[in-house]
Amino acid sequence: MDVSILQHALIGYQAERAKFDQKIAEIEARLKGLRVPSVTTVSTPTGRPKRRFSPAALQRIKEGQRKRWAEFRKQKAAKATAKKAVAKKRPAKKVTAKKPVSPEVMQKRLAALEKARAVRAAKRVQGAG
């Protein structure tokens, strides 16, 4: 196709789009302030229209939800205070200091540790070789 034809077509379509945008703006200006349902409605799978609640019904739903959440928070707070009461009844654990280890015992432990490490290293060498 010739490039000039495509350019002219593009210019024509842009002009049409500008006209449409202007018409849409005029219609929106007329509808401004009016509460009109949108033209594009999404139908439910059953084909029934979407349910609309009255302001009074919405208020009742809100009140019920608030009551349910208040009850939930009340029960949660009661459980927390019960846990705190149980925790206060228990005696605190005593923190005892570790007994000091004599140098002889420390030497024995270090020797046993070195021996265990040597055995483990020997096993690795045998497994690799």
- Boundaries of every domain in the chain: 1-31
| pLDDT for res 127 | 82
Read off the tokens for 56.
Answer: 């009074």
In order of 68, 93, 107, the CA distances from 119 in angstroms are 66, 40, 18
User: In the chain, pLDDT over 70 holds for what percent of residues?
Assistant: 84
Which is higher by pLDDT, 47 or 49? Answer: 49
**Is the CB of residue 46 less than 8 Å from the CB of residue 54?**
no
| pLDDT for res 41 | 53
| pLDDT for res 84 | 80
Q: What is the pLDDT of residues 98-113, one digit of tens each?
A: 888 999 999 999 999 9
> At residue 88, does pLDDT exceed 90?
no
> At residue 39, does pLDDT exceed 90?
no
